[in-house]
Amino acid sequence: MPKVTLLTYTPEPERIIAAAAKLCYSASGVDALLDKLTPEKAAEFVEMLASMGHESPIEHASFTFGIEGVSRSLLAQITRHRIASFSVQSQRYVREKAFSYVTPPEIAADERAELLYRKAMENAIAAYDALADLLKEKHAARLMAEGVEEKAARRQAEKMAIEDARFVLPNAADTNLIVTMNARELRHFFRQRCCSRAQWEIRAVAREMLRQVLEVAPTLFAGAGPACVSGPCPEGKMTCGRMAEVRAEYEALREAAGHGRA
């Protein structure tokens, strides 16, 4: 399973958001506004913003997550959320020695499928190692012939070799990343990726991200989750048909996060 860690976030996010929104309509300075905002008043104001659909002030709060043990397939999906910052473990500079990989649950649940999948991963590992070693020796020999000292030549050759060897790595190869999103983009991310129609891996990551932000900003993310949590299902004919069940699931998630703060 992926490991998701909320690394850092804007201190007192709901208070900052409330102050930003109030500033637009107040002659008071920032310090004066903040002094008047108790946690309770900030929460009330954030609730009012949500009811009005006024989302721009929530961009002032941001959240940074460490996400580990996810597939390159997930990476391709999460980086489509462009209002975010990503730092990803590089296959170009990090040698994948007997790389770890993600196994889809449906494959893991079928003995024959799991065996076939494991063999495919083992073949990929063998091909990657063989290519990396072959190319490293080729590049090292050329560099030394050009006068580069052996130790430096082999160090350069390693980087050059894995840059090309990585092309045989599958989508299943795992990676680690750090991602930062502001609260508005996070809410959009949850609407898209907590949905039952989202791919299982990114759905699991999104749900865990939501669980963790609920613990530090419960009012801000009170209505967050798949679109059907706060309104009708937007999927039309493609709906999962489980709206009541999904709403109950995310209500339980919010309640659990609330108990975790008590």
Cα–Cα nearest to 187, from 243, 227, 247: 227
Structure-block tokens of residue 2: 């992926």
What are the backbone dihedrals phi and psi of residue 232, each rounded to the nearest 5 degrees, phi first? -70, 155
Helix/strand/coil percent split, the chain, to 5? 60, 15, 30
207 tagged catalytic:
no
Instruction: Report the phi/psi class of residue 99: left, alpha or beta, with left for phi > 0 and alpha for psi in -120 to 50.
Output: beta
Catalytic residue among 166, 184, 191, 193: 193
User: Kind of pairing, strands 62-71 and 174-182?
Assistant: antiparallel
- 144 burial level (CB within 10 Å; 0-12, 13-18, 19+): middle
Quickly list DSSP for 27-52.
Answer: SS-HHHHHHH--HHHHHHHHHHHHHH
Residues carrying an active site annotation: 193
